Each structure stands twice: as structure tokens, then as C-alpha cells.
Amino acid sequence: MTEVSQRPEAVPDNVVGGTPPPRPRRRLGPVPAIVVVVVLAAAPLFLAPFATTTLTRLLVFGLLAVSLDLLVGITGLPSLGHAAYFGAGAYAAGWVSIHLTPAIPVPLLVGAAVGGLAAAATGWVAVRSAGVYFLMLTLAIGEVLAQLAQSWDGVTGGANGLSGIPAARLGSEPLLGVGYLYWYVLAVGVVAFALVWLLARSPFGATLRGIRDNESRMRAIGYSTTLYKYGAFIAAGTIAGVAGSLLAAQQRLVTPGDLGFTTAALVLLAVVVGGAGSLWGPVVGAAVVVLVRDALGPGLGGHGELLLGIVFVLVVYLLPRGAAGLTSLRPFRRRRS
């Protein structure tokens, strides 16, 4: 009899144990982002004025959350005082609009500059610490600036806030309609988000991620980690100042609460809920915070903060990576026997 040898089928080199490797995730490219921007641009055509105003506040708060994510998610520096630079930019833009000109882009540029300068003045001390020490130091910086805003009556209006801010003016036309103001905020927000996105994906952003993952190793191979963290701190403060100038244009009132602990805690909550490090995730988290606070909160008898706390606990336990982590979940596949 002739023995018939059964040769096993050829198995590719990248297959271990006969199990095919996972398929690489397909990148959708810029199409989803373009669709989202188009939908947002068309929103005022279908929404009521109050809903459009709420969406404008959402965009402002979302940009603030993106600026904080540059610290928390990209660099690994959780801050509880980031609202200080948001408020500083808002006060500067409001003051310039009242005493000089509300013409675009003057208040916007002034708000960005003041936010960046305030971050530069305080960040050099903050970035020399880490962990809980950085967290508490930023909290102290935020409270100092909040007290300064409350006591500097001649410039900030004190506890009553800076009121009487004129409407932003494009050329000779003031943006009095909620739709026109919304499109202005959306345009600035898209440009600022694109700048943060490019920064996060540049070699500078890659270095920041290396510092986040293992700062001692980055220092050992020759990187000046303190300077890189300081640069990220200034960039985040500048974007926060841009968001503050948009707040002054939308709200036309700036109060010490806009740069206090409550605002700082809410924006950090938005970053955690949305997913730190994803940039778009904090915008989703900001939407959750604004909608719960402004839309659902009044109907709950002022218990919006309680609902936010419940949402935070659920996200921590069920979605450790936030809303952005949902994109990485894969359906269970049945194994072949």
C-alpha cells in the first residue's frame, strides 16, 4: 500500500495558531468632520432662537474643552485652573469692545493674546510640578485670578461683572441676530480646532505624548520636558483665551464665575466624559454638560449638577475612555472550533 501523507494547508506567516489577524481599522478621513461642520452650519436655519443660542454656548464651551484636552489628554497635565485663561480672554475682549472697538477680529486677537500671556506668566511655575501638585497649583492660580477679577472694580466691574459689552461688528454691521453670531462662533471654533488638531499631530504633539507616557525616558534621551510642557501650557491658554473672547461676544457679560472653580471643574468633567486625548471627544462631553445644565437642569428643579455627577460616575465605570472609547469597541465574534 502506498502511504498517503496529508500535508497541512499553508498557513501565512502572520497567522498564529491558525487564527487570522485582526483586520486593520479603516480610516474614514475628513468626510465625517466635513459632514459635522455642514450640519452645524445649517442648524440655525431649522432651530428656534433659544436653541441656536444654546448651541452657540455649546460651541464656546466645546472649544474651551478642546484647549484643556491639549493639557490633559495630550500632555498628561490635569488642570483645575484652566478657566482662569478663559475668563482672562473674555474680560480682555469685553474691555476692548467697550473702550476701543468691537470690530472683528480685534477683540478676538486681544482675548487670545491675554489668555496666552496669562498662561505664560503662571505656567512656568506650574509645569515644574506634576500629578496632584500640578492639580492643586493650577487650582490656586485660578482662585487667585478669580479673586483679582472680583476685586478690580475699575476694570472688571467687580462682583457685578463686566456688562454693557457691545455686539461684535463685522465691518460696519453688528452681529445682532443669533444666527449670524452663531456662524461667527462656528467659523472661529472650526479654525481653532483645526489648529489644535495640527499641533497635536505635529512632531511637537508627538513629543508631548511621549512626555505623557514616560517623562523620565524623554528627559533621558535629551528632551527638555519642562520647556515642552511650558509651550503646551501657553498654547492651551491661548486657545482658552479665544474661547473667552467668543463668550464675551455671545454673552455680552463676563463675571468672576466664568474664571472660577465651577467653570474649571465643569470643563474638566467634559474632557473626562468625552474622552481625553481624542480632541473631538471633549466637544461631545461639553455638549453633555451644556445640555444637562442648560436644557435639563431647569426642569429638574435646579438639580442639574446632581445629574451631571451621576453621568460622571456612570462614564467612569462603564466607559473608562469616555465617549471617544466607543469608536474602538468591536463586536464579539464567534470563534471557529
| pTM for this prediction | 0.86
| 227 inside domain | yes
Q: What phi and psi values does residue 97 have, to the nearest 5 degrees?
A: -65, -35
Look up the domain containing 76 and give its range.
49-158+175-258
Task: Give CA 225 to chain center in angstroms.
Answer: 23
- pLDDT given at position 208: 95
- pLDDT given at position 166: 93
- pLDDT given at position 8: 46
| 325 inside domain | no
Domain tally, the chain? 1
| 193 inside domain | yes
In angstroms, the CA 267 to CA 83 distance is 8
| 188 inside domain | yes
Task: Give CA 94 to chain center in angstroms.
Answer: 22
Task: Give CA 244 to chain center in angstroms.
Answer: 13
| 34 inside domain | no
Q: Are 104 and 184 in contact (CB under 8 A)?
A: yes
- Angle at CA of residue 201, ends 238 and 79, nearest 5°: 45
Report helix, strand or coil for 16: strand
- pLDDT given at position 276: 86
| 131 inside domain | yes
| 201 inside domain | yes
- pLDDT given at position 23: 52
In angstroms, the CA 59 to CA 186 distance is 7
- pLDDT given at position 42: 94
82: cell is 484652566
| 317 inside domain | no
Split the chain (337 residues) into runs of 10 and give each run's mean pLDDT. Answer: 46 47 53 88 92 93 95 92 94 94 94 96 90 90 90 86 91 88 96 95 94 92 93 96 95 90 91 88 90 76 76 81 69 44
Q: Are 248 and 112 in contact (CB under 8 A)?
A: no
